[in-house]
Amino acid sequence: MFDFDNFREIWSTIKKNKLRTFLTGFSVAWGIFMLIVLLGAGNGMKNGIMSNFRNLSMNRVQTWPRYTSKPYQGMQTNRRIEYKDEDLVAIPRENPEVDLITASISRGDTLSYGEEYNAYSLNGVHPSKAIIDNIKMTVGNGRFINDIDVREKRKVIVLSPRMKEVLFKGADPLGKYVNAGSVAYQVIGVYKAEDNDNNAPAYIPFSTAQTLYNAGYGLDDIIFTINGISTQEEYDAFEKRFRQQMGLRHKFDPEDRRAIGMWSTLEDFMMLNGMLNGIALFIWVIGIGTLTAGIVGVSNIMLITVRERTREFGIRKAIGATPFSILKLIIVESILITAVFGYLGMVLGIGLTEGINAVMEMMNAGKNVSQDDMSIFLNPTVNLSVALSATALIVGAGVLAGYFPARKAVKITAIEAMREE
């Protein structure tokens, strides 16, 4: 067993070589510290960038009609494609991947209440719009458009926070009427918008917008979510099939990519994830390189230590010490140095990242994160398991760093060891 005398002997050896021990330990601590800081910075960047996309579904697809650029079945180019109500029924029927779907009609108009007015955008949508685009309704601020509103073509409206601020000057707008041109809409809710954007639209029932602004038929664009598609190849196959279906219904060449527009957040997320994964890999390479430098430092110092003490090991063996006891002494010394300094580096690294995160949270308290300059950098912390794993890795490397030179030394006979200079 490892007793106190062994520990006192190791401590005596360390005290004799303070500078060497400190430099070795510093390389270990610095390696762990830099790895944690770099990983924290990478996580902060990833969290910040992803937070800017939190209001978008990862599987959202938007499509809108445009003009043809190729002749098709005797029809000329530059023909406008028009989406129909039937498309809302056909798209989910023909594509089992489609989950939620909504049509949209957008019009600009002047909203007024009393003497206050401003130009805003009205967006006629179905209730599923709130789920697709993650539109939040907080307690006490009413509700979003529902199926009854659409079915009965109600003249109701959901305002943005900016509209509430401008038109109602902070007063409660629920139940009151705002005018959009010559049409009066009853306010049924105010949705949550962190950026307080002046361009954020108001929402009205799709059927109401279609009746008032689209002569009761047609739509501007279609938005839906898709399930079961996670790769670029799967999405490309879906888009090709979708264009063929739309081309068949609206009589245009499916290869004419200008006939209809399509935009998918899935493509953006895959591209973004690829970029973030590349940054994460780069950070890991640098961090592991720094960690490796610490491991090499431990290996070198243990090699020198064993070489300097070879004569001592010979004397120990001559008076009856077993090779295992000598081997154990060196390995414990190596573990002690790497564990203590590795733990110190881990604590400092975690402390720095947690401190930066606490400061950022204090600076953002009471503010909209999206308005803050540091919105691209959010929660720069590291999972504790990663930090512990890195520390365990360098301690394990310390064991190996001490084991191999010590094993070589204890294999030398006592007479040969005592002859070493």
The DSSP letter of residue 263 is E
| Predicted confidence (pLDDT) at residue 372 exceeds the cutoff of 50 | no
Instruction: Identify the pLDDT of residue 90.
Output: 94
User: What interhelical angle do 323-364 and 384-410 show, nearest 10?
Assistant: 160
Residue pair 196/162 in contact (Cβ under 8 Å)? The answer is: yes
- Looking at the chain, the whole-number percentage of residues with pLDDT higher than 70 is 87
Residue pair 356/9 in contact (Cβ under 8 Å)? The answer is: no
CA distances from 201 to 61, 158, 319, 333 (A): 19, 9, 89, 67
| Predicted confidence (pLDDT) at residue 104 exceeds the cutoff of 70 | yes
pLDDT tens digit sequence for 181-228: 889 999 999 998 766 677 889 999 999 999 998 877 889 999 999 988
Q: If pLDDT is split at 50, 70 and 90, which confidence band does 329 have?
A: confident
3-state DSSP call for residue 231? coil
- Looking at the chain, the whole-number percentage of residues with pLDDT higher than 90 is 33
Q: What is the dihedral of CA 325, 330, 333, 338, to 10 degrees?
A: -130
Nearest to 225 by CA among 97, 106, 70: 97
Q: If pLDDT is split at 50, 70 and 90, which confidence band does 6 have?
A: low
Instruction: Identify the pLDDT of residue 404.
Output: 77
**Given the DSSP bridges, would you call strands 183-190 and 156-159 parallel, antiparallel or unpaired?**
parallel
Q: Tokens 């918008």 appear where?
A: 193
Between these two residues, 289 and 411, which has the higher pLDDT value? Answer: 289
Q: If pLDDT is split at 50, 70 and 90, which confidence band does 278 have?
A: confident
Q: If pLDDT is split at 50, 70 and 90, which confidence band does 229 have?
A: confident
Q: If pLDDT is split at 50, 70 and 90, which confidence band does 1 have?
A: very low
Q: If pLDDT is split at 50, 70 and 90, which confidence band does 144 have?
A: very high
Instruction: Identify the pLDDT of residue 56.
Output: 61
Residue pair 184/357 in contact (Cβ under 8 Å)? The answer is: no
| Predicted confidence (pLDDT) at residue 375 exceeds the cutoff of 60 | no
CA distances from 347 to 27, 102, 138, 253, 280 (A): 15, 51, 40, 63, 22
Between these two residues, 33 and 398, which has the higher pLDDT value? Answer: 33
| Predicted confidence (pLDDT) at residue 319 exceeds the cutoff of 80 | no
Between these two residues, 64 and 39, which has the higher pLDDT value? Answer: 64
Q: What tokens were used for 377? A: 């950098």
User: What interhelical angle do 265-308 and 384-410 show, nearest 10?
Assistant: 30
The DSSP letter of residue 371 is G
| pTM greater than 0.85 (yes/no) | no
User: What interhelical angle do 18-51 and 265-308 show, nearest 10?
Assistant: 180
| Predicted confidence (pLDDT) at residue 273 exceeds the cutoff of 80 | no
**Given the DSSP bridges, would you call strands 60-65 and 221-226 parallel, antiparallel or unpaired?**
antiparallel
Residue pair 294/28 in contact (Cβ under 8 Å)? The answer is: yes
Residue pair 132/143 in contact (Cβ under 8 Å)? The answer is: no
Q: What is the mean pLDDT of residues 16-34?
A: 78
The DSSP letter of residue 220 is S
| Predicted confidence (pLDDT) at residue 324 exceeds the cutoff of 70 | yes
- Between vectors from CA 98 to CA 79 and to CA 191, what angle results, nearest 5°? 90
> Residue 392, Cβ neighbours under 10 Å: how many?
12
Instruction: Identify the pLDDT of residue 376.
Output: 62
Q: What tokens were used for 9? A: 């002997």
Nearest to 143 by CA among 207, 54, 203, 60: 203
Q: What is the mean pLDDT of residues 234-256?
A: 92
- Integer Cα distance of 23 and 178 in angstroms: 72
> What DSSP assignment string belongs to 61-129?
EEEEE-B--S-BTTB-SSPBP---HHHHHHHHHH-TTEEEEEEEEEEEEEEEETTEEEEEEEEEE-TTH
Consecutive H or E run containing 135: none
Length of the chain: 421
Instruction: Identify the pLDDT of residue 366.
Output: 47
Instruction: Identify the pLDDT of residue 224.
Output: 94
User: Which amino acid would we find at residue 47?
Assistant: N
| Predicted confidence (pLDDT) at residue 111 exceeds the cutoff of 80 | yes
Between these two residues, 209 and 26, which has the higher pLDDT value? Answer: 209
Q: What is the mean pLDDT of residues 2-30?
A: 71
Q: Which residues contact 364 (CB under 8 A, 6 or more apart)?
A: 372, 374
Between these two residues, 129 and 324, which has the higher pLDDT value? Answer: 129
Write the burial class of residue 233 (CB in 10 Å: 0-12 exposed, 13-18 middle, 19+ buried).
exposed
